[in-house]
Amino acid sequence: MPPGISIIMNNEDTLADLSKAVMKLRDSKEVASFLKDILTRSELEIVLLRWRVAGLLDQGLPYTQIERETGASSATIAKVSEFLKYGYDGYRIAIDRTKKR
């Protein structure tokens, strides 16, 4: 299990409910509105940065280039990389499906 996941594991039902709610949203505009409502600006910025880092890691860019392009710390890049490799496959599924568009 990736580190820092114990909170999620204690809230599996709530996570399942939230996941179902997101799946009911009709399009990317609705999802964006939901994210802006449910997350603080800082939280949203963090999520967006992690998503961008994940995409750049998937492209094979080195950490130093990702740091320069995004301003992300090496710790953030390493954490995203760890979840890409050893997480729950959420990043991988989302990245692969967005590539197919």
Q: Are residues 62 and 87 in the same domain?
A: yes
Cβ-based burial of 37 (10 A; exposed 0-12, middle 13-18, buried ≥19): exposed
How far apart (Å, rounded) are the C-alpha atoms in residues 11 and 66?
33
Q: Are residues 34 and 45 in the same domain?
A: no
> Once rounded to an integer, what is the mean pLDDT over residues 16-42?
97
How far apart (Å, rounded) are the C-alpha atoms in residues 51 and 90?
11
- 80 and 53 in contact (C-beta within 8 Å)? yes
Instruction: Read off the pTM.
Output: 0.85
Range of the domain at 60: 39-101
Q: Are residues 97 and 60 in the same domain?
A: yes
Q: Are residues 22 and 51 in the same domain?
A: no
Instruction: Say if residue 101's pLDDT is above 80.
Output: no
Number of domains in the chain: 2
Residue 31: count other Cβ atoms within 10 Å of its Cβ.
13
Q: Residue 35 is encoded by which pair of tokens? A: 């994210």
pLDDT tier for residue 11 given thresholds of 50, 70 and 90: confident
Q: Are residues 43 and 32 in the same domain?
A: no
Q: Are residues 46 and 87 in the same domain?
A: yes
Q: Residue 89 is encoded by which pair of tokens? A: 């496959």
